[in-house]
Structure formats: structure tokens, C-alpha cells
Chain A
């Protein structure tokens, strides 16, 4: 059963129980139960957000307690949006986002398709495949720098073994054209199972009767795949893409540990860029404006996408 967040919200409320209740009224209990969560989120999410917006119009710096804090209007925003380095960082993020999604969808869907052939032991292997997904990206990312070492690293050794090239002849992390792929490979290794699981749920939701009907109509397997399988799985796939998109837009831990944004600034995703501005240069006001820009981007893109997702589902 598939429900998008929007659907879940819109789903019908269970019928209210008649007011023959002793003790606290339902209304009171409802408030009592919801309020603590809302208060905590207001305190730790909304209040900081408002504070960030306010700071974004100032030149405040955490490491200069004695300096005068001035209101600088839109200067921080203008500086950020006209800074070519930040645009490069956005590009790096987009490259990472697009390729991880493409690869994870392709591999994840294929795996789900194969697992859905229900060979013996498919449950066991599914569980094994899923393991990397739940692990700490920082710890795993750190270890991948070891696997990526030229010569002694497992990755280079295996690639060298398979292609016959010298394992010390290339360095995934050092080379400017390979580094963006180094982070994509690790993210794909970790998160393909996520897409796979969702696709598998999609495939299993297709009633066999539809295929049986198609078979009666003598539709080829190829045609069945494109006219039944893909359209039925598409909403699931789009949901997976939404999750991966939001997660990888926020990407920080894995890449920081893998490349630290290097070489040069080739893999400096926006979160890393922002972290440097906020917690290394301590340009708090400037970094706040940067944070606001990122919020707006992710919310904007996500809501456009959710609209598209709903359209697909209504078809």
C-alpha cells in the first residue's frame, strides 16, 4: 500500500468517539498529547530558523564577541548569489544528486526486478544487500578512504585485477575527474538497497491478474514490462527519488569523510561549503543567509516534485 506524505495527511480521520468519556475530555487529551512534541520542535527547529533568518541580515560573527553587530540588509544574499565559487558548489551538488539518483534507480530497480523472480533464498540475500544502508555514513566513509588508496586499497586492487591496469596508476580521491565519481560510488553502494526495497514493494503490489490478462491478449513480455510493470512501479520509484533527493541535497557526513570537498573544491557540496563558512571562518551572518537559501531551494524543489508525484498517481 502506497501513501505519499500528502495522502497520509489527507487520509480520513477515524470516526470520533462519542463524548461519553470520563476523566479528561478528548480535546484536553489531544492537546496534552500533541503539545510537548510541538513545543520541542518549535524550540529546536522553528525558533532557530527564525533566528537564522534574522542573523542572515547582519554581519554577526560568533568568534568576535566584541565587534559591533550591524544590519547589512541583503548584502549577504547578494554576495552569495554572485559568488562563482558557491555556484560551483551548487553544480557539484547537482552532479552528485543527479548521478546518485540515476545509478541507484537503475541498479535498485534491476535488483528488485531480479529478487521478485522469487528464487530460493531471496529473503536472505535481500537482507545482506540492505546492510550498508543502516550504517553510519561518517564511519563507513572514513573507511572507504582506505579502500580507495592507490596500491594498497581494496578498490584499486580489485579494479586493477579486473581491468589489468596497475592499481597504483589511479587514485579515486586525488584525481579531479575521478573524485566526483568516488563519492557517487560510495553513496550508490550505501543507498541502492533503499531504492531496491521500495521498488520491490511496488513490484509486489502489482496483482498477477493484470499480467494474466495481458498474456491472454498475447502482449509480449517486453510490452508487458513497459505497459504494466513500469507504470505500476513509477509512483513508488518517484517516492524513492524524493527521499534520496532530499537526503543527498543535505549530504555532509559521507563526503566530508571521503574527500573533505577536495581535490581543490571539486567535491565541495553545499553543506561542506556552508560548514566552512559557518564553523571554520565563523562568518555567522553570511552563513545564515546561505542556510536560508538552501532551505528555500530544498523546500521549493520538494514541493514542485510532490505536485508531480501526485499527478502521476492520479493517472
Chain B
């Protein structure tokens, strides 16, 4: 390689490109920083005009996120005496007392259970199917693969009508099991397509050697292919997890008090007489930050994941 190349951009071009991209990145990041920042504002600062960039941070939003509160008559407030905990003290100044825990922790736990449950199932089913599609002559293979992909094209609201009826008659409405099954089915296309791509890349020769050494086909799959596919499986799993984590349409229609996940819950957080943006922002922050971390971890496989393996670097 020569030091001078006609395809290598000049230093000035690089500077110019860099400035524009950084500018865009800053703009794109602003709403996310605003969410995180609002979580640490007091309700008054959150709706201040002009919007406050510098403010005194408080965890009131987080306290409000995890509690339910009510306003009580002044005489009762006096009867209660001094607040005993720091969070009691924090809300008491508004003439409000904490009456209990909010549902946020439960909803968040539901998201974790349903997200991980469906991911595990999706990976197990997907790896098996992807291996078969990759290595064997499956009858009608092309049609089956296309069928699997096409399930992803249906608008969720349209599919939700019969699923609502089906879940109702099977007693699966508002259950973790129902949602895990549903999200597994929704993500299966992604997992089969992605994993097939990863397994295709593993040379067949390894298995053939194992088979010659007396491994059964199943052993070869288990002991030779799986270990090599681990990176692919892990990134596929994270994709499945993120999609299940973010899903809203099915969750809002098919879950209620028992299995409701966080996405339909967070927008419904309200305060004592009035919208409580810091609490909403706090909930959003707790919910979004793990995904941001995963996205950064996944960046090498991102392209492949979002295109179902159609584009690889």
C-alpha cells in the first residue's frame, strides 16, 4: 500500500466530515440526555420555563416512581408526627404521605421474566431449527424459511385479535407463560435467520471430522457446532431480548395487572394531582439504560441483527 491513495480522503475532508457527524451525534443524544436529566429534577424544575439546563439534582422522581402517595388533611399530617425516613421527609414537604409501594418494581420484574424467558426459549428453538436448515436437506426448506420470515411482516395489532381470543379461551391472558410464548413466536424468525447465518459460517469439515471420530450427529452438534456458535448465539440472544423488552402493542392489549411489562406501564405513571415528569423520566431511565449498554456491547453485530442477517460486514 502506498501512503498516498486516491481513495483516501484529504485531511480537510476528514475534519469537515467529523464536525458534521459529531454535530449530528450531539443533537441525537440530546433527547436521551434530557430524559436522564429530567429524572433528577424536581417537578417544578422539570416544567420550568425556559427549560433548565442547570438545576439542583434530587431523587424525588425516583422516590415517586417507586411509591404511591396521597395528600392528607393537615390535622392528620400533624398526628403522624415527624417523618421517619429520608424518603418520607422528601415527599412530606408537599403535604403528601407515602401510602405504599408503586407497581413499577413488579412491572420491571415482569419485563425481565418475560424478556429472559422468551429469549431462552427462542434461542433453544432457533438454534435447533437454524442448524437443521443450515446442514440438512429439509423438504420445502426455502418455503419454510420464507414462511418463518413472513410472520414478521404482520402488523401486531392485526394478529392480536385472534390471539386475544385464543389466550382468553386457554386462560393465557395476562400470564407470564402466555407472553413468553407469544414473544418467542414473534422473535423466532429473527433467531432462526440470524443463527442460520452464523452456523453457515462454521465450516462443515469440523463436524465431518467429528463424525468420522465416532460422534453421533447429535454429539457433533452439541460438542462441535455449539461451542463455535457461542458468539453468534449470544448476540442473537441479546437481539431477542431487546425486541421483547421494547415490545408494546401486544403487551398493552394482552396484559393487565399480573403480567404487564414496563413499556405500557411507564407512560401511565402520573403523580398526585398532575403529571409527574421526573418520575416518568426516572422510570424511562431505569428501563432504557440497560438497552443502551447492550447496544454498545453489540455494536459489531448490530447491522447483522437489525437486517435479519441479510447484511453482514
A–B touch (CB < 8 A): the answer is yes
Task: Check if B87 is an interface residue, CB within 8 A of chain A.
Answer: no
- Cα(A157)–Cα(B52), bound, Å: 11
- A147–B31 touching, CB < 8 Å: yes
Whole-angstrom CA separation of A112 from B138 in the bound complex: 39
**Known pairs A122-B18, A152-B49; A133 contacts B25 (CB<8 A):** no
A13 contacts B310, C-beta separation under 8 Å:
no
Interface centre among B24, B164, B204, B312 (most CB of A within 10 A): B24
Residues in B with CB closer than 8 Å to A125 are 18, 21-22, 25
Residues of A within 8 A of B288 (CB): 135-136, 139-140
Q: Are B29 and A139 in contact (CB under 8 A)?
A: no
Q: Is A134 an interface residue (CB 8 A)?
A: yes
Give complex CA distance A52, B161 in Å: 7
Determine chain B's interface SS by DSSP, over half rule: helix
B72 at the interface (CB under 8 A from A): no
In whole angstroms, how far apart are the Cα atoms of A209 and B296 in the complex? 33
Q: Judge whether A55 and B21 touch: CB under 8 Å.
A: no
CA distance A38 to B253 in the complex (A): 25
Identify the closest chain A residue to B1 (Cβ): A208
Contact with B along A19-37 (1 / 0, CB 8 A): 0111110110111111011
By a CB distance below 8 angstroms, the chain B residues around A153 are: 51
Contacts of B185 in A (CB 8 A): 40-41, 43-45
B21, B48, B161, B216 pick with most chain A CB within 10 angstroms: B161
Q: Does A70 contact B (CB under 8 A)?
A: no
Q: Which residues of A contact B28 (CB under 8 A)?
A: 128-129, 131-132, 189, 193
Cα–Cα, bound, A129→B32 (Å): 11
Interface size band for B: 35 or more
Instruction: Determine whether the beta carbon of B266 is less than 8 Å from that of A29.
Output: no
Whether A66 is near chain B, meaning CB under 8 Å from some CB there, is no
With A5-B149, A40-B125, A252-B156 in contact, is A201–B303 under 8 Å at CB? yes
Binds A, one of B3-11, B57-65, B74-82, B96-104: B3-11
**A80 in contact (CB, < 8 A):** no
Among B159, B248, B295, which residue has its beta carbon within 8 angstroms of that of A45? Answer: B159
A295 contacts partner chain B, Cβ-Cβ < 8 Å: yes
Q: Secondary structure at chain A's binding surface: helix, strand, loop or mixed?
A: helix
Residues on A with C-beta less than 8 A from B284 are 139-140, 142-143
**B279 part of interface (Cβ distance < 8 Å):** no
Q: Tell me whether A14 and B31 are in contact (CB under 8 A).
A: no
* Cβ contacts B139-170/A at 8 Å (1 or 0 each): 00110111111111111111111111110000
Q: Is the CB of B126 within 8 A of A117?
A: no
Q: Contact between B310 and A154 (Cβ–Cβ < 8 Å)? A: no
Interface residues of A in 273-290 (CB under 8 A from B): 274-275, 278-279, 284, 287-288, 290
Check A239 against B129 for contact (C-beta < 8 Å).
no
Report Cα–Cα, A120/B30, bound state, in Å: 22
Q: Give the nearest-CB partner of A138 in chain B.
A: B248
* Chain B, range 233-281, C-beta contacts under 8 Å to A: 242, 245-246, 248-249, 252-253, 262-264, 266-267, 277, 280-281
Interface residues of B (CB under 8 A from A): 5-7, 9, 13-15, 17-18, 20-22, 24-25, 28-32, 34-35, 38, 47-51, 125-126, 128-129, 131-138, 141-142, 144-166, 181-182, 184-185, 188, 192-193, 196-197, 200, 204, 207-208, 211-212, 214, 216-219, 221, 242, 245-246, 248-249, 252-253, 262-264, 266-267, 277, 280-281, 283-284, 287-288, 291-292, 294-296, 299, 302-303, 306-313
A-B pairs with the 5 shortest C-beta distances? A23-B216, A291-B158, A48-B162, A119-B18, A138-B248
Binding site for B on A (CB under 8 A): 1-6, 8-11, 13-17, 20-24, 26-27, 29-34, 36-38, 40-41, 43-45, 47-49, 51-52, 55, 62, 107, 111, 114-115, 117-123, 125-140, 142-144, 146-147, 151-154, 157, 167, 189, 193-194, 197-198, 201, 204, 208, 211-212, 215, 236, 239, 243, 246, 249-250, 252-253, 257, 270-271, 274-275, 278-279, 284, 287-288, 290-292, 294-295, 298-299, 302
Known: A127-B296, A138-B266. 9 other contacts (CB 8 A): A34-B144, A41-B147, A44-B185, A117-B17, A132-B28, A135-B291, A139-B283, A157-B50, A270-B155
